[in-house]
Structure 1
């Protein structure tokens, strides 16, 4: 008794019919998860930070601390 030959004709097409929609669904799920799990909270955090951010005040505090070599502290 011998083993039956495996069916090779159309094997790729049959496998792709199953695995391609699964791959697209997984990729779409991950993309949506990254968008709403990482990107949107990060955009919200940046927006919250820059609502009350005063660049001139920050610059003056860094200048007073002596961080910049090319800018002298005021009053000295």
Structure 2
């Protein structure tokens, strides 16, 4: 008998002795069985809603952002 055929026959004979599998996976849904699973949190749970606002004066914002607080000595508006 060929070694491959012999290995196949031994594999078939041994597979009859294998367990069927986890009973929880094969059993129908039973609501009494606690699984510990819970749905994942919402991806937008921690976000806050933003609303549009009126634009600000960009010249004033630039002036406030400059070191020294303005255009002193440059001949520009103040």
Provide the TM-score with structure 2 as the length reference: 0.32
Q: Which has the higher helix share?
A: 1
TM-score norm. by structure 1 comes to 0.32
Q: Please say which structure displays the higher CA radius of gyration.
A: 2
Higher relative contact order (CA 8 A, sep 6+): 1
